[in-house]
Amino acid sequence: MNRRIAFIVVPALFLGVAIGAAARPAAKDDSQLIHNVFFTLKDHSKESREAFLASSKKYLTGHEGTVYFVLGTIAEDVVESVSVRDFDVALHLVFESKAAGAKYIKDPRHEEFVKENKDSWSKVRVFDTYLVPTK
């Protein structure tokens, strides 16, 4: 890239990113928080997945502030070019708010779940998002 163009373009890009970030509203404290967790287990067997699901139901259901809770195992027979295939079990929760999600993470039942199951994971990925109303 020509040095003069770079001198103009690069600072403009940084300024554009900074302005864009400042223009985005922060999530409101009352926005619902979506907590998606994808677990890759060391043992990919059906039995291991079922034991993990049972433990998840035992420790992770019924928490205060939970709007929606669902578990699932990988849909092995659904393969698309963009499909991610390196997980066994997925957990999907919707919390009333960010505060409810934070309370869940610190809850003794959640901590017991982690303690009981962490040795069975080879990878865990968490995707937290704020729900955006569609209406």
How does pLDDT run across 63-112, given as a tens digit for each residue?
999 999 999 999 999 999 999 999 999 999 999 999 999 999 999 999 99
> What pLDDT was estimated at residue 23?
43
- Give per-residue pLDDT as tens, 114-130: 999 999 999 999 999 99
Sequence ranges of the domains in the chain: 33-130
- CATH assignment, 33-130: 3.30.70.100
In angstroms, what CA-CA distances link 80 with 40, 83, 84? 19, 5, 9
Identify the pLDDT of residue 6. 44
For 55-110, give the DSSP string: HHHHHHSS-TTEEEEEEEE--TT---TT---S-SEEEEEEESSHHHHHHHHHSHHH
Give the pLDDT score at 135.
Answer: 83
pLDDT digits (tens, 9 = 90+) for 17-55: 444 444 445 556 679 999 999 999 999 999 999 999 999
Q: What is the per-residue pLDDT for 20?
A: 45
Q: Region 2-25: what's the mean pLDDT?
A: 45
